[in-house]
């Protein structure tokens, strides 16, 4: 018997980091749990004190004395899922098959849809939008990143500028009935119902506490992700676009803006099949952007034409380029929403991540699930980031991210990206880390330098795999070399032995 053992060992490196928040909310001193009776949206019994939080909140609330205030409006916005009007992944115009669903025309809405989106404002006047830094342009239709440290209080001053009633409902944090943002038979009335459905032009202030149980758990890193969304008519509200991320950092682990100190760059990614058929704006979108005749609303091709398989509201790589720098601690917050088809498997090319303590490059997502993946990118270049479900990949749920050199320059493998309008929409910002002390943001155009970061030596093959510092020697995960084992002679000997054994067996049977 001959046993042939074939082995393959792969190694990778990745370790996590957080996403950059674009809002710097105002902060002021907050009362502790013993003094919160009568605080709007809390309704804490004055006599119960700290024991109330132990009994109701699951774990104690240890107040930091900070209130982080965000001014968020729900606004009607015409959203373009493919602003570059091309497939930026292939750097080609949309194919005829893609155009049949993406172009406006008789019974087809096209790229543009009227939506209702959360947007950040600078104050309660709701006249000036809070700026979103260029490096965070990739966030797309997501609402402002809400940040807090364990022990903080979050105050959301909300104004509804959409024609539909809506709300702000959080995951993970502590809230009372007056700040839940969801209408149902919960045995409440009066002021406790004002948060459920804020009418057009109305305002409401939501107050959420951040107890220990809202922060990182025993197996988490320095921060965790939650989400917020409208829950007035949840299916229609989220189809309209009312969703946003919330990041909670462990106590004592946050910067002044609430982001984790040990992370250089934070990325948020929403994977969702945006079902415009469920949006309350479907009829308005038909009137605005489609042409008659309008098909029956249950027509299969019509309903398919209103599905947008998107990452942060972008399809086929039209998302502004996500950027980071080699060696940074990058933390990816990924989330899913949608229906029964929204089973997603985000996959990173080029680099790996830590997910729940496991080394991965593909992770699972379900609707309304959230996860944290930590990466330390070591492979410079532009890489795909996409859902690995076949139908979702073909439908456009794919984007790219760029790993710059440690000093913020494109690497030699970045090449020329002249066909990507999405890179220019990110203002060429090589965000890398806008948080690292003493580190400038650095500008990164999308055209690479063939000399920057080049490590190939004279006479070496262009396909030679460079062995990273601390890596295994060639032949054990590095450069492939010919084996010293005499494969051909061994095979000849094996075949000769096999033939000889059969001849001897036949002779023995013939002599019986």
The torsion of the CA quartet 26, 29, 33, 35, rounded to 10 degrees, works out to -130
- pLDDT at position 225 is 98
Q: Residue 9: is its pLDDT beyond 70?
A: no
For 220-244, what is the mean pLDDT?
97
Average pLDDT over residues 413-421: 45
Residue 150: per-residue pLDDT: 96
pLDDT at 62: 86
With a CB cutoff of 8 Å and minimum separation 6, the contacts of 16 are 221, 263, 329, 330, 331, 332, 353, 354, 372, 373, 374, 375, 376
Residue 473 CA to its chain's centroid (Å): 36
How far is it between the farthest Cα atoms of the chain? 106
Stretch 15-43: mean pLDDT, rounded? Answer: 40
- Average pLDDT over the chain, rounded to whole? 80
The Cα–Cα gap between 109 and 99 comes to 12
pLDDT tens-place string over residues 277-287: 999 999 999 99
- CB-facing half-sphere around the CA of 262: CA atoms within 13 A: 13
463 Cβ contact partners less than 8 Å away, ≥ 6 residues apart = none
Q: What does the DSSP 8-state code read for residue 53?
A: H
Q: Which of 101-105, 454-458, 478-482 has the lowest mean pLDDT?
A: 454-458
Q: 472 in helix, strand or coil?
A: coil
**Mean pLDDT on 186-215:** 96
| Confidence bin at 21 (pLDDT 50/70/90) | very low
Cis amide bond preceding 293, omega within 30: yes
Place of tokens 């699951």: 58
> What element of type H or E holds 209?
strand 203-209
**What pLDDT sits at residue 101?**
83
Q: What is the pLDDT of residue 106?
A: 94
**In the predicted structure, residue 41 carries a pLDDT above the cut 60:** no
DSSP designation for 489: H
Question: Which residues does residue 105 pair with via DSSP β-bridges, in sequence order?
Answer: 108
- Of 199-213, 281-295, 418-432, the poorest mean pLDDT is in 418-432
For residue 407, the model assigns a pLDDT of 95
pLDDT tens track for 355-397: 999 999 999 999 999 999 999 999 999 999 999 999 999 999 9
The residue to which tokens 């803006």 are assigned: 257
DSSP element (H, E) containing 505:
helix 487-511
> Above pLDDT 90, what percent of the chain?
66
Burial class (CB in 10 A: 0-12, 13-18, 19+), 68: buried
> Regarding predicted confidence, which is higher, 320 or 481?
320
């Amino acid at each position: 018997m001959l046993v042939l053992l074939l082995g393959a060992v792969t190694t990778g490196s990745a370790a996590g980091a957080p996403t950059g928040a674009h809002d710097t909310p105002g902060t002021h001193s907050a009362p502790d749990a013993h003094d919160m009776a009568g605080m709007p949206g809390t309704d804490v019994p004055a006599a119960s004190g700290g024991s109330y939080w132990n009994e109701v909140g699951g774990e104690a609330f240890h107040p930091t004395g900070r209130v982080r205030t965000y001014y968020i409006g729900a606004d009607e916005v015409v959203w373009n899922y493919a602003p570059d009007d091309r497939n930026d992944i292939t750097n080609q115009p949309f194919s005829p098959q893609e155009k049949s669903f993406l172009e406006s025309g008789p019974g087809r809405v096209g790229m543009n849809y009227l939506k209702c989106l959360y947007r950040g404002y600078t104050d309660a006047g709701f006249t000036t939008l809070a700026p979103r830094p260029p490096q965070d342009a990739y966030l797309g239709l997501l609402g402002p990143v809400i940040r807090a440290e364990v022990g903080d209080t979050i105050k959301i001053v909300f104004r509804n500028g959409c024609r539909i009633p809506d709300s702000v409902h959080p995951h993970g944090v502590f809230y009372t009935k007056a700040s839940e943002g969801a209408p149902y038979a919960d045995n409440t009335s009066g002021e406790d119902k004002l948060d459920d459905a804020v009418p057009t032009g109305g305002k409401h202030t939501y107050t959420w506490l951040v107890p220990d149980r809202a922060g990182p758990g025993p197996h988490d890193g320095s921060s965790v992700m939650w989400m917020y969304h409208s829950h007035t008519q949840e299916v229609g509200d989220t189809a309209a676009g009312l969703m946003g991320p919330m990041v909670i950092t462990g106590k004592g682990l946050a910067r002044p803006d609430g982001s984790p100190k040990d992370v250089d760059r934070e990325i948020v990614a929403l994977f969702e099949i945006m079902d415009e058929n469920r949006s309350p704006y479907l009829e308005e979108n038909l009137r605005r952007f489609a042409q008659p005749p309008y098909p029956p609303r249950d027509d299969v091709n019509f309903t398919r034409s209103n599905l947008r398989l998107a990452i942060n509201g972008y399809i086929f790589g039209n998302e502004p380029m996500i950027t980071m720098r080699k060696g940074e601690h990058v933390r990816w917050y990924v989330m899913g929403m949608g229906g029964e088809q929204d089973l997603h498997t985000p996959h990173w090319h080029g680099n790996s991540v830590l997910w729940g303590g496991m080394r991965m490059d593909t992770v699972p997502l379900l609707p309304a699930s959230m996860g944290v993946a930590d990466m330390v990118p070591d492979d410079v270049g532009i890489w795909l980031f996409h859902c690995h479900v076949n139908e979702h990949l073909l439908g456009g749920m794919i984007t790219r991210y760029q790993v710059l050199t440690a000093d913020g320059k494109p690497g030699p493998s970045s090449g020329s990206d002249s066909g990507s309008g999405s890179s220019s929409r990110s203002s060429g910002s090589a965000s890398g880390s806008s948080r690292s002390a003493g580190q400038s943001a650095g500008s990164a155009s999308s055209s690479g330098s063939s000399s920057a970061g080049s490590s190939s030596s004279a006479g070496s093959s262009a396909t030679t795999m460079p062995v990273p510092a601390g890596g295994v020697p060639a032949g054990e995960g590095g450069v492939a070399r010919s084996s010293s084992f005499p494969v051909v002679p061994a095979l000849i000997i094996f075949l000769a032995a096999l033939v000889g054994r059969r001849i001897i067996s036949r002779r023995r049977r013939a002599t019986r």
